[in-house]
Chains A and B, each alone.
Chain A
Amino acid sequence: DSGVTQTPKHLITATGQRVTLRCSPRSGDLSVYWYQQSLDQGLQFLIQYYNGEERAKGNILERFSAQQFPDLHSELNLSSLELGDSALYFCASSVGTIGSGEQFFGPGTRLTVL
């Protein structure tokens, strides 16, 4: 158990809908990262927050947005869902922001868009 929690574990929805994925980092970790794992794209970095502020953006679609709240939990919002958004979404956390810190991953949320 990494200490990172993600809810829900599974999510099934229809095209055009909007969903929210939630992540709670390990106690003491200030950075939260979101990654998408799909068969065709592999594991891709989406976005990073540190202590409530956005720090880095990867290949995140405009239909996707995220935020980190004062209690450090984070939410990833996916809207106007398409079939291709079906993937495993991971949240990870680390103590700081520099590259030396290992990131601990949550169990993931499996999103299926029908």
Chain B
Amino acid sequence: AQKVTQAQTEISVVEKEDVTLDCVYETRDTTYYLFWYKQPPSGELVFLIRRNSFDEQNEISGRYSWNFQKSTSSFNFTITASQVVDSAVYFCALSEGGGTASKLTFGTGTRLQVTL
């Protein structure tokens, strides 16, 4: 069975600090996909990134970067120079590929609070 663990329940930082959100996953599949979603206080779930299990290249998008390491089954998310608007709950999720169903298994989320 697949599982996603986000050990950090809540993180508080001051604006402009860098912050890393941890995600560890478990799966028996060799083909799988990892995602990060953001849930701002308004409640909607916003897709941030998708990574497949064959692509361990790190990715940077503006202030966001992702570090995928198969050896440690981790897919960590770093926000550089955090801003108050980054305050949200961030979810890591896993989907096993190759089948005909693609449910997402979510972690419990990390609440990020960015203050001035």
Query: Using a CB–CB distance below 8 Å, which chain A residues touch chain B?
Result: 2, 31, 33, 35, 42-45, 48, 50, 55-56, 58, 88, 90, 92, 94, 96-108, 110
Contacts and interface: CB of A to CB of B under 8 A. Distances in A.
B50 A102 contact: yes
Interface stretch (B11-19, B69-77, B104-112): B104-112
Interface of B: 31-33, 35, 37, 43-47, 50, 52, 91, 95-109
Contacts, number: 79
Report the 10 A-B pairs with minimum CB-CB distance, sorted nearest first: A56-B101, A99-B97, A99-B95, A105-B45, A99-B102, A43-B106, A45-B103, A55-B101, A99-B33, A107-B44
A97 B101 contact: yes
Contacts of A2: 44, 46-47
B7 to A, nearest CB: 14
A55 B32 CA distance: 18
Given A99-B97, A100-B33, A94 B43 contact: no
Contact of B43 (A56, A101, A108): A108
Contacts of B97: 98-100
B35 A102 contact: yes
Contacts of B46: 2, 105
A107 B50 CA distance: 20
Contacts of A92: 45, 104
A99 B47 contact: no
B106 A100 contact: no
A102 B102 CA distance: 10
B108 A42 contact: yes
A48 B102 contact: yes
Given A2-B44, A99-B102, 19 more contacts: A2-B46, A2-B47, A33-B104, A43-B106, A44-B106, A45-B103, A55-B100, A97-B99, A98-B102, A99-B31, A99-B32, A99-B33, A99-B95, A99-B99, A100-B33, A100-B50, A100-B95, A103-B47, A103-B102
A106 B91 CA distance: 16
